[in-house]
Amino acid sequence: MPRAFSFIIQRELRLALRRKGDVLNVLVFFIVVASLFPLGVGPEPNQLRAMAAGVTWIAALLAAVLSLPRLFAADYADGTLEQMLVAPQPLIVVVLAKAAAHWLLTGVPLALAAPVIGLQYDLPTDALGVLLASLLIGTPVLSLLGAAGAALTLGVRGGGALLGLLVLPLFVPVLVFGAGAVTSTLIGINPAAHLSLLGAFLAVSSLIGPWAACAALRVALD
């Protein structure tokens, strides 16, 4: 089972490396969205500082939703997913490996790019670190719950917009605690409570997300 897990991750990473555009586009989208906000609301530094965490997090949510339809689509189209379903390894290993690969390919780059956006918004250094930490803890949730959304909308008409409608409301706690951690740092409160709650939500989603994704994949491939 650990072998199957690491094999699928390696396969996903190799496939992504051969089509770098897919990964880079999501990252560029994230940076573009975050850079548009000051143009819309004005360059006032105090206002931007107060908005920074929320804007970065919402841009991250949108970027994740944008990348999620591809999670299972290619394997579904060419029949690989069906083979994974009938393989002796439990389906949940496949789902977990795919979610992990998705996090490595989108969550981690987004988190690493976030401090740069924080600088654009004039965040102090300690808040930059918290922003990075909150994204590193929070983005796996997007991959785990997002996997369920991607599996539910597999091969469905208008999948992309529908996927957003399904998963964005479920991301509310991540947004609240992720952005809350940074905002509380700005007003001098220890962000540990927010980050712990974010971790707790990660634990809950790692139970619900893969289960729902497995069930949804079985339904889709029935």
Site for other proteins, rule CB under 8 A:
145, 148, 152-153, 156-159, 162, 165-166, 168-170, 172-173, 176-177, 180, 183-184, 197, 201, 204, 208, 212, 215-216, 219-220, 222
Q: Which of 98, 86, 69 is nearest to 165 (CA)?
A: 69
Q: Work out how close the CB of 109 gets to other proteins at its nearest, in angstroms, rounded to a whole number.
A: 26
Beta-carbon contacts of 79 under 8 Å, excluding residues fewer than 6 positions away, are: none
Nearer to other proteins, 107 or 180 (CB): 180
Note the helical H segments in the chain: 2-18, 20-41, 45-67, 70-77, 80-86, 91-102, 108-120, 125-152, 159-167, 172-186, 192-220
The CA-to-CA distance between both ends of the chain, in Å, stands at 24
Q: How far is the CB of 99 from other proteins (least distance, A)?
A: 15
At closest approach, how far in Å is the CB of 118 from other proteins?
19
Q: Which is nearer to other proteins, 112 or 189 (CB)?
A: 189
Looking at beta carbons only, is 119 or 161 nearer to other proteins? Answer: 161
Minimum CB distance to other proteins, residue 47 (Å): 15
Nearer to other proteins, 32 or 193 (CB): 193
To the nearest whole angstrom, how small is the minimum distance from the Cβ of residue 65 to other proteins? 13
Min separation Cβ 201 and other proteins, Å: 7
At 85, list the tokens: 């379903």
Exposed / middle / buried, residue 34 (Cβ in 10 Å: 0-12, 13-18, 19+): buried
Judged by beta carbon, residue 128 or residue 213, the one nearer other proteins is: 213
Distance, in Å, from the CA atom of 190 to the CA atom of 196, rounded to the nearest integer, reads 11
Environment class of 169 (CB within 10 Å of its CB; exposed 0-12, middle 13-18, buried 19+): exposed
Closer to other proteins by Cβ: residue 13 or 215 = 215
